[in-house]
Amino acid sequence: MHINEYIEIKKKFIDKGLDKYLPSLKAKPQAIHKAMRYVMFPGGKRIRPILTLAGFEACGGRGNRILPVACAIELIHSYTLIHDDLPCMDNDDYRRGRLSCHKRFNEGLALLTGDALLTLGFQLLSEAGNIDIIKEVSKTIGSRGTIGGQVEDIRASRIGRLESAADLNYIATHKTGALFASAVKVGGIFKGAGRKPLAKLGNFGKCIGFTFQLVDDLIDRDGYVETYGVRRVRKMAKGLTKRGKGYLGVFGKKANRLSEIADLILDRPF
């Protein structure tokens, strides 16, 4: 099966799960449930939950038991996007070609919608029955993870500059990269993988998460591109992808999908 077909099949699988876990439009209060579904559908490529599924498979996992965990990762990712778009954060009017949540509804409802998605995500993680997954995700999205990255991004925006290349790296690895690493690792945690395989998955996720940000900057012509230029950033992305794929050797052919996803992230057109 070609990787694009694999991605499409897994995306439909995740979408079906999200539709099941999200509250019905008929459930009160209808306003927030409408907003939650507006944000989640049609959604993006679901790359983070697909990484969860592929991480599970790399460790020998089979079957559908991992679905609630993968859906939780996407719900939590979507919460970060809603909050990131708010006027007090990045103040973006559009997300994926549509009005962002606060523009489509209102700022207060958007804030609560993000909170609701985050809470539902942790409900699904708790129902998976593995405290180590909850610990992993909690650490990832806390003040030393995605929230910390957002804090530094806001600080840089307010002073109008980054004080050093280290600041840029911190934002990229925390605001964006951290959830990639966690998404892959929780697949292995769910399967019961040992410490060393989990470390390999985490390192792979960090590399491709960083690559994802670099390619985003190549597309938008900002961030790293403003600092280093297109040629160097492209070289950095290729190097990170190669390094990330190097961590997968321990899994053999079972990690082929992870390797192919890494190539897709690198080869996004810009």
pLDDT tens digits along 106-115: 999 999 999 9
pLDDT tens, residue by residue, 42-93: 989 999 999 999 999 999 999 999 999 999 999 999 999 999 999 999 999 9
Q: Residue 10 maps to which CATH number?
A: 1.10.600.10
Q: Is residue 268 very low, low, confident or very high in pLDDT (cuts 50, 70, 90)?
A: confident
**Residue 156: its pLDDT value, please?**
86
Q: Which domain holds residue 170?
A: 3-194
Buried b (16+ CB within 10 A) or exposed e, 210-235: bbbbbbbbbeeeebbbeebeeeebbe
Residue 185 domain-assigned (yes or no): yes
Q: How many domains does the chain have?
A: 1
Residue 12 in any domain: the answer is yes
Residue type present at position 151: V
Pick the range with the lowest mean pLDDT from 36-45, 150-159, 182-191: 150-159
The verdict on residue 218 lying in a domain is no
Asked whether residue 77 is assigned to any structural domain, the reply reads: yes
Instruction: Decide if 99 is inside a domain.
Output: yes
pLDDT in tens, 167-185: 899 999 999 999 999 999 9
Average pLDDT over all residues of the chain: 95
Per-residue model confidence (pLDDT) at position 163:
63
Confidence bin at 164 (pLDDT 50/70/90)? confident
Strand partners, 98: 95
Q: Tokens 């969860």 — which residue?
A: 52
For the stretch 192-211, pLDDT in tens is 999 999 999 999 999 999 99
Tokens, residue 231: 């040629």
The larger pLDDT score, comparing residue 269 to residue 127, is at: 127
pLDDT interval class at 270 (50, 70, 90): very low
Residue 59 in any domain: the answer is yes
Answer yes or no: is 116 within a domain: yes
Reported pTM: 0.96
Q: What angle do CA 155, 90, 72 make, to 5 degrees?
A: 105
Element holding 119 (H helix, E strand): helix 107-127
pLDDT > 70 in the chain, percent:
99
Percent of the chain residues past pLDDT 90, beyond the cut: 91
**pLDDT 10s digits, 105-144:** 999 999 999 999 999 999 999 999 999 999 999 999 999 9
Taking CB atoms within 8 Å and a gap of at least 24, the contacts of 225-228 are 227/162, 227/165, 227/168
- Please indicate, yes or no, if residue 123 is contained in any of the structural domains: yes
